Amino acid sequence: MQSDLPYVLSLEQDAQNLPFITPWDRTQHEAAIRFPDFRHFIIEAGEGLEPAGFLILIGCRSQHQSLELKRMVVQRKGQGYGRAALRVAKRVAFEDLNAHRFWLDVKQRNTRAKAFYDTEGFVVEGVLRDAVRTRLHDGSMGHDSLVVLSMLRSEYAQRRTQGLELRV
Ligand SMILES: CC(C)(COP(=O)(O)OP(=O)(O)OC[C@H]1O[C@@H](n2cnc3c(N)ncnc32)[C@H](O)[C@@H]1OP(=O)(O)O)[C@@H](O)C(=O)NCCC(=O)NCCS
């Protein structure tokens, strides 16, 4: 909702997250909420279901059934919220939105997120070398590569039979 956007914008601007994402301005988020091809979610956690992060799916009406996890940010990291949210996102993509392919890109320097997606069954498709100009950890500007990863519907189905995904 529009009322969630200050929280989303503050997470994007947080120095812990900025090196790993390409933040949008408020207008882009507002458009993403309205545009039917996009789904803009708040991750909620804890007993009071407080906001714990957000994620954005795009390509939800893709004729190619190719959905992208455009962005995912968790506020308190390393507590399992990211993994739980990604599993819900996969279920939404494959079960609700009938995805054939669910893909994302991650900055090569983002070793935490890359390891996370690997363990969630995403397969590396390739590397877009020096594709983005970004602020590095030391505060300077430089280029980083993007690693493209995806999961196909058949791979998701196999993981489900192995008990590695949420039950429908
Ligand atoms: C990437 C991110 C969404 C993961 O969410 P999270 O809630 O921190 O992750 P989880 O606690 O569910 O842990 C999932 C995996 O992440 C990795 N991870 C988590 N914390 C880590 C840490 N401090 N160091 C290294 N890896 C870590 C591990 O592989 C972990 O799996 P494990 O606990 O089985 O070893 C979150 O860290 C984040 O918001 N990062 C900044 C923004 C970002 O990079 N977004 C992704 C852009 S593509």
DSSP state of 55: E
Distance (Å, whole) CA 103 – CA 3: 28
CB neighbours of residue 76 within 10 Å: 11
Q: What is the pTM of this model?
A: 0.95
Residue of the CA atom closest to atom 48 of ligand 1? 106
Residue type, 77: K
Q: Render pLDDT for 119-134 as a digit per residue (tens, 0 to 9).
A: 999 999 999 999 999 8
| Domain parsing of the chain, residue ranges | 2-161
CA of 118 to the centre of ligand 1 (A): 11
Query: What pLDDT, on the 0 to 100 scale, is given for residue 118?
Result: 98
The domain made up of 2-161 is a member of CATH 3.40.630.30: yes
Atom of ligand 1 nearest to the CA of 85: 12
Q: Render pLDDT for 72-90 as a digit per residue (tens, 0 to 9).
A: 999 999 999 999 999 999 9
pLDDT for 168 beyond 80: no
Nearest in space to 59 (alpha carbons), one of 114, 98, 25: 98
**Phi and psi at residue 99, to the nearest 5°:** -65, 145
C-beta of residue 105 within 8 angstroms of C-beta of residue 58: no
